[in-house]
Amino acid sequence: MEIVVVPCLYDNYSYLIINGKEAAVVDPSEAWPVMKVAAEKGLTLVAALCTHHHHDHIGGLPDLLDEYKNLEIYGFHQDQKRIPLITRPVEDEARFSVCGLDVDVIHTPGHTSTHIVFAVEDHLFVGDTLFGAGCGRLFEGTAEQMVHSLDRILQCGKQSRIFFGHEYTEFNLRFAAQVDPVNPAIDERIASVRKMRNADQPSTPSTLEEELATNPFLRIEDGSIIDQLEREHNLDSTDRVTVFAALREQRNNFS
């Protein structure tokens, strides 16, 4: 298996999962950058995997279908109304096979109520649930749902590789440095991400281990993050959902 990162639109990432001469695309924001890589590598695109219904994740589907008539489109069964092009609706904990590879589905409500993550071996395609040093905005789900969704991702193990949907890492790390100021891993990651970005390299994928060390939304039990939040907000409790909600709100107002 080979993964190719395909930058799309302004800061989106689509991914090609390649096995032999077959490929599946995750979150095709646009068709042409995906088709270009497929043509260069002589690949047949057999499937599209859609993490959620937002246009910047599915906008390329119609043009891809024009080019690849047999393209199978996988998406969450409860997203069929919002992604009418789905041909293969999948449920939470479903396992299916594309390009000879097993894909597992994890329902991760929070950013949207119908968001899913695709797991291929230890590669997690997390869409807008988790980002480098951040997480998706809560457009439809609650803080409680998102905490649960992130916990399910954490169950996949530290060595999992995280392929996220947007290049927000540098900005997210600035926020992380503010809310978690005594964490040296954040400074190290800022330096390494800056290097990548200056060389025009994507900061995706990361590992879950790296996120656990630097992503404040996975560190909601950390004493210094909680102390910081208690100074900013009047937290009535320090349970994980309350901490997460306060942190998410603080991030929404961060600029």
Q: Which residues bind Fe ion (CB under 5 A)?
A: 56, 128, 165
Binding mask 82-101 for Zn ion (x = CB under 5 A): --------------------
Among 27, 128, 180, 210, binds Zn ion (CB under 5 A): 128
Given the residues 27, 79, 128, 180, the one annotated as active site: 128
Q: Are strands 88-90 and 95-98 parallel, antiparallel or unpaired?
A: unpaired
Given the residues 107, 111, 115, 123, the one annotated as active site: 111
For residue 54, indicate whether it is catalytic. Answer: yes
243 and 229 in contact (C-beta within 8 Å)?
yes
Record the tokens describing residue 179, joined without a space: 């809310």
Dist. CA 144–CA 56, nearest whole Å: 25
46-60 b/e (C-beta count within 10 Å ≥ 16 → b): bbbbbbbbbebbbbb
| SS3 at position 123 | strand
Using the rule CB under 5 A, give the single segment among 37-45, 91-99, 120-128, 236-244 that binds Zn ion: 120-128
Q: Please give the DSSP secondary-structure letter assigned to residue 166.
A: B
- Taking the complex as a whole, the smallest distance from the CB of residue 111 to Zn ion amounts, in Å, to 6
Given the residues 54, 107, 115, 123, the one annotated as active site: 54
- Taking the complex as a whole, the smallest distance from the CB of residue 49 to Fe ion amounts, in Å, to 15
Which CB atom, from 110 or from 216, has the smaller least distance to Zn ion? 110
166 is a site residue for Zn ion (CB under 5 A): no
Q: What is the dihedral of CA 204, 123, 52, 20, to 10 degrees?
A: 100
Torsion-angle region of residue 254: left (phi > 0), alpha (psi -120 to 50) or beta?
A: beta
Which CB atom, from 56 or from 79, has the smaller least distance to Fe ion? 56
Residues in contact with 139: Cβ distance below 8 Å, sequence separation at least 6, in sequence order = 111, 112
Q: Name the β-bridge partners of 44.
A: 22
Q: Name the β-bridge partners of 240.
A: none
Among positions 26-55, residues that touch Zn ion (CB under 5 A) are 54
For residue 128, indicate whether it is catalytic. Answer: yes
Which CB atom, from 11 or from 187, has the smaller least distance to Zn ion? 11
Among positions 54-73, residues that touch Zn ion (CB under 5 A) are 54
The residues that touch Zn ion, with contacts defined as CB under 5 A, are 54, 128
**Active-site residues: which are they?**
52, 54, 56-57, 111, 128, 166
